Structure 1
Amino acid sequence: MLDRSRNAGRSLAAAALTAALVAVGLAAPVPANAAVSRAELALRWAPIHYQDVDATGSHALGGRSDYITKVDFDGDLNGRNNWDRAGQAGASFAAHAYYSVLETSTHWYITYLFFHPRDWTDHPFFETEHENDGEGVLFAIERDGSTYGVLRSAVSVAHSNFYSYTPAGSTWSGGRENVDGTLQLQASPHDSFLHPVTAQEAQGHGLKAYPQYTINGDGLVYYPSTVAETPSDGNDRDVRYQLVDILGSGGLWAQRANVNLFANLGTFAGDDTGDCGVGTYDCSTNSANAPWGWDDADDLPGRGEIATDPAKLSAEYFTIPGNPSRTYTYNPYASAAAALAEAARTAPPVVD
């Protein structure tokens, strides 16, 4: 059951939040001649996110293994203790998601990462589990002269496959890859915008456009916000999540050479200690990726290019009218382009 007392107070909290966001130009359109920040863009287009929850078995932690959280939910940036720390007192499941914004003269490209400390299973056959899990979605926004632009497409990450979508009325259509479905939009109770809607499955956390994945029984509905809430239980349908800039000072990109967090460029470090793999087929190591490690191996774009060169990936996946620019006016990933290309060429494939 939902926490009714908390939800009752939320109507007042939501009104107060809306008033606050209006004051800073996030909940209502700002003047057309006002520059919008990357953080504002990310918040405006952040998805309403459906997360299926399974509480079966000890590895589920009563459902908490399906809650999204921060990479440092346990107070450190050591990726090799996250499986165990997720089940210990003091672990924070306050809802966060990560984002990065790249710019060309014609488009904004916004990548979102949803992190779980465990990719898990509740049966002993066929499927493996592993420490850490990172999957997400790329949105392409056309800069049409309006404050926040127009959403044209999405490409989601479900394990080692990408899936492409367009919202109703988009001018984009299928390219080298077929469009896999329609990206739905939904109103948020916490601002005045229609947001794209995404969903993740329980256990393995593959991500697709809603309702290609949806909630089956218990589940969480996360709403983008400026605060991070912890679900009241595994069936909380109104949880606000806070965004964290991947490219910010001290962010995940700045930590890319941290050997405690990353086993190699774009791959989270994870071991097989604790009960990972106990009672299941296996626990694999170093098996989750950050956005610059995401890859659909049988598609043309290279490893990580969904985040680091999204204009290229979009041109491969979609037929785009006009003359979209492929030259970035803002792309901090480009400073490490040579290292990323070499890592993609030499690193073994990582199957999430």
Structure 2
Amino acid sequence: MIFKKVLLMAIGVIGAIALSILTNLPGIAQTPTDLDLAAYHAPIHYQDTDSTKYSGDYITQFNYDGDWRGTNNWDNLSAYPLNAHAYYSVAETCTHRFITYSFFHPQDWTDTPFDQEHENDLEGLLAIVRKDGTTFGKLEGIVTVFHTDFYSYTPAGSSLTNGAENIDGTLTTSSYNSSPHPLTTQEAKGHGLRAWPAGNFNGGSTQDGIIYYPSKTTAEVPASGNDRNVLYSLIDVFASSGLWQHQLDEASSSTGITYATWGTFKGDSSGSCGDGTPTCANNSANTPWGWDDSNDGAVYRGEMALDPAHLTDVYFNGLGNFDTTYIRNRYIQDLRDRGYNSSNVPLGWPTQINLNTLIGKLKNQC
């Protein structure tokens, strides 16, 4: 009996050692967590700032002020610390992982006469990552959100070519924490996002701006509007009681506190929004499932998050082996599980997207 127990223990130890060796061999891909995956590919982010109001250009989380009310984020800007955060989500097909990143600002502001500003601002990007047999895959391209226009970039050596949309430039990457990270840049005030070095801030010593670096755990507050090393913490969009959970809870309601309608935050003209000569627009900031390019043809509002494989398939050629159905897509899965379908869509759902067709893109395995 004792011999049998010892033998079983020995077999277990040998098996564990063998598994450890196999999973760490070159070419044997391990399955990363979504946080690990997001941190590996997360942008090093160059945020332009304006000295009129540096804090208006700091990135943070939507509930930085301790609540989920969209109509007081503008008002509370100077009352709470603006710890740096960015949101992410991951969807997966048999050939690719698609990671959305988004950067939140409590204010989209201006000091230009007769311009417009609004409460809340969330702009970001889609990272297209091929599953190439390595743990974290290979970044093939990104698509960024610049207000109502999307911009496409590919790193040197990418196989992707122009599709229905033209590629707008070459993506620069930089090594950080032993992995290559794309460099992105975001304008001051309006916060449109493109690939570095587009915009007014590229890190030069005479420029106003902040360079944000990704972290799994640490969310720092910039020392000033000219801080060159600030860590931002990654937040899963699907986290419990997070952005997506609040959207689902308010998806059929017109009286929610976070969202005005599907994919659009609530925001009003309280506080100083619109004071002086600028105007203040209500309910003007969108989430990744509400982002839309105004002239990209058959890619519709919210597809950067909801159906990133379709967006990628339209935007690029040279994709090679490319799957357009999902083994993981929480956006679609959660909508289905909440009982939504083409006959019962959330308030404000984009009419061009057939929800039953979208749900039909889910599958159990490759």
- TM-score band by shorter chain is 0.7 to 0.9
1:121–1:280 Cα contact (<8 Å) kept: no
1:295–1:304 Cα contact (<8 Å) kept: yes
- Distance in 2, matches of 1:222 and 1:345, equals 37
Aligned to 1:166: 154
| Unaligned stretches of 5+ residues in structure 1 | 1-27, 347-352
Match of 2:288 among 287, 291, 302: 291
Q: State yes or no: 1:141 paired with 2:129.
A: yes
Q: 1:194-248: per-residue Cα shift (whole Å, max 9, x none)?
A: 2001010000000000011241721000000121111011100000010000012
Aligned to 2:242: 251
| Equivalence map 1:1-352=2 (5 Å) | 32-56=28-52, 60=53, 63-88=54-79, 91-125=80-114, 127-188=115-176, 191-215=177-201, 217-226=207-216, 227-256=218-247, 257-258=249-250, 259-299=256-296, 300-335=298-333, 336=335, 338=342, 339=345, 343-345=349-351
Task: Flag the structure with larger Rg.
Answer: 2
Amino acid at match of 2:46: Y
Alpha-carbon deviation of 1:328?
0.2
Aligned-partner SS, 1:97: strand
The TM-score with structure 1 as length reference comes to 0.84
- Distance in 2, matches of 1:214 and 1:309, equals 32
- Distance in 1, matches of 2:26 and 2:348, equals 43
Aligned-partner SS, 1:195: strand
Aligned-partner SS, 2:310: helix
Alpha-carbon deviation of 1:281?
2.5
Alpha-carbon deviation of 1:342?
6.2
CA distance 1:83–1:163, shift in 2 (3 Å): same
- Distance in 1, matches of 2:326 and 2:103, equals 25
Alpha-carbon deviation of 1:297?
2.3
1:123–1:279 Cα contact (<8 Å) kept: no
Alpha-carbon deviation of 1:280?
3.0
Aligned-partner SS, 1:170: coil
Alpha-carbon deviation of 1:187?
2.1
- Distance in 1, matches of 2:315 and 2:214, equals 27
| Unaligned stretches of 5+ residues in structure 2 | 1-23, 251-255, 336-340, 353-366
For these two proteins, the number of residue pairs brought into alignment is 310
The TM-score with structure 2 as length reference comes to 0.81
Aligned residues: CA RMSD: 2.0
Q: 1:146-184: per-residue Cα shift (whole Å, max 9, x none)?
A: 111000010000001100111100011110000000111
